[in-house]
Amino acid sequence: MRSIQRRLSLGLIGVMVVVGLVLAQTSLWLFELGLQRYLEAGLRNDSENLLVALVRGPQGLQLDERRLSPAYQRPFSGHYFRIDFADVHWRSRSLWDQELPRLDHPGLHSNLQLGPEGQKLLVLRTDYRRLGQAISISVAQDYTPVRDSFRRMQQIGLGLGLAGLLLILLLQRITVRRALRPLDRAREQIAQLQRGQRSQLDEQVPRELEPLVTQINHLLAHTEDSLKRSRNALGNLGHALKTPLAVLQSLASNEKLDPNPELRKLLLDQLEQVRQRLNRELNRARLSGDALPGAHLDCDAELPGLLATLNMIHGEHLHLSYVAPPGLHLPWDREDLLELLGNLLDNACKWADAEVRLTMTETAEGFSLAVEDDGPGIPADRREQVFSRGTRLDEQTDGHGLGLGIVRDIVDTWGGLLALDDSEWGGLKVVIELPKR
């Protein structure tokens, strides 16, 4: 979809071109019409002077050439006349060997040509009665210089019009950009919302944006409130179930179940799975804290605390480290990333002898996360089993407990890839490839 600024610019160009052409043509037509009327007044004055130059002679009407303008004597001077009465007509010497046609009706005419250079003539025919005779006087003026000047004026006007159009477009672009700045700020604030750097949009916006910002803020408040209620409900449920679980575990250990060791083992195993799942969800809620909805993971801020927490849980004998570019932000939900990394690092700590390392790199295609340890690892022929829900290789003496089903679901949701490999220390290396967003 085209931008608003481009639409406004194209619309303004179209309107200005149409309006400009109409105004220019109208102005030029009015100017030429006014100019012709001005020249017509001069031609009428010349016609009257010719009428005065007609005097009574011995043989009737005759033209007194002493009263004529010298311009009528020079060939193709640009000033011409023709006088018709009865069957006689006189013409100016400036016509040389040309004839000025007799016009059909009185008035101003501008479509005649004369002379070797094709002079455009503006001709005025006027009818009079003089000394009892009906006389028709046609006076003409070379209109070519005026037309040439008029054409040059058109070209200059066109150039000035184009320059004015470009100036107006430039000013319009600047004005539109300034007018659209609130939209740019709103876009930046929405990006900050996505990164979890704010929870609401600023309400100090132009009147046209107020309904949109109000609705977005209302939706954000509702979403944040729903997430808080869900988190609180999860915590309350977990704490509420701890006591019944403890009671059930105590009953499963009761001596009355001594005759049924298989039933006791089944009950204890299932209760232990429920307890571990509850602890994991409670730890996730604790690690998430009061993060804003959609907050991204700041590696420099989050990873040291996560590793320190795991060190306290699994003992100081482990050396936990991470390698990541300074200032790296992973563009996915913070809570999901903490669950993913916490799960992988926790399981690596369980089976590591002394070393656990998290490596994060940014590539042209996306991000690469790798968690490796120096534990016993997983045989290549059994690695696919750990992706199945409910499979727990840590219950076997030679296993490596991972429970990667949930991790794999998260990675699949993001369109990433999850693979198991051998660590350089001989243990397991979990590699996750995530695309850019």
User: Can you tell me the mean pLDDT for 250-272?
Assistant: 80
Encode pLDDT of 159-200 as tens digits: 888 888 888 888 888 888 888 788 888 888 887 776 666 778
Choose between 5 and 402: higher pLDDT: 5
Which element (helix H / strand E) includes 76?
none
pLDDT-derived band at 399 (thresholds 50, 70, 90) equals very low
Judged against a pLDDT cut of 50, whether residue 94 lies above it is answered with yes
pLDDT score of 119:
80
123 closest CA partner among 85, 80, 76: 80
Taking residues 346-363, report their average pLDDT: 90
Total residues found in the chain within this entry? 437
Query: Quick check: 372 pLDDT over 90?
Result: yes
pLDDT at 369: 94
Share of the chain above pLDDT 90, in %: 9
Split at pLDDT 50, 70, 90, the class of 85 is confident
Which of 22-26, 144-148, 282-286, 394-398 is the least confident region? Answer: 394-398
Half-sphere exposure in the Cβ direction for 44 (13 Å, CA): 9
Amino acid at 70: P
pLDDT at residue 39, as a whole number: 85
For the chain, the average pLDDT equals 80
CA atoms of 226 and 69, how far apart (whole Å): 101
Q: What's the rounded Cα separation, in Å, for the pair 355 and 426?
A: 11
Q: What value, to the nearest 5°, has the Cα angle with vertex 172 and ends 171 and 176?
A: 120
- What's residue 320's pLDDT? 92
- Average pLDDT of the residues in 41-49: 89
The reported pLDDT for the residue numbered 397 is 33
CB 384 within 8 A of CB 405: no
Share of the chain above pLDDT 70, in %: 88
Cα separation, 271 vs 278, in Å, equals 11
- What pLDDT is stored for residue 255 in this prediction? 78
Q: What is the pLDDT of residues 420-437, one digit of tens each?
A: 989 988 899 999 999 986
For residue 65, CA distances in Å to 7, 72, 397 come to 70, 10, 138
Which string of DSSP letters, residue by residue, matches 112-126?
Answer: EEETTTTEEEEEEEE
382 or 321: whose pLDDT is higher?
321
* Residues 267-306: tens digit of each pLDDT: 888 888 787 777 766 655 554 544 455 567 888 888 998 8
**Phi and psi torsions of 269, nearest 5°:** -65, -45
Please state, in angstroms and rounded to a whole number, the distance separating the CA atoms of residues 220 and 226: 10
pLDDT digits 0-9 by tens, 62-77: 888 888 888 888 888 8
395, pLDDT greater than 50: no
Can you tell me the distance from the alpha carbon of 197 to that of 329, in angstroms, rounded to the nearest whole number?
12
Q: Of 202-206, 254-258, 282-286, 359-363, where does the model show the most confidence? A: 359-363
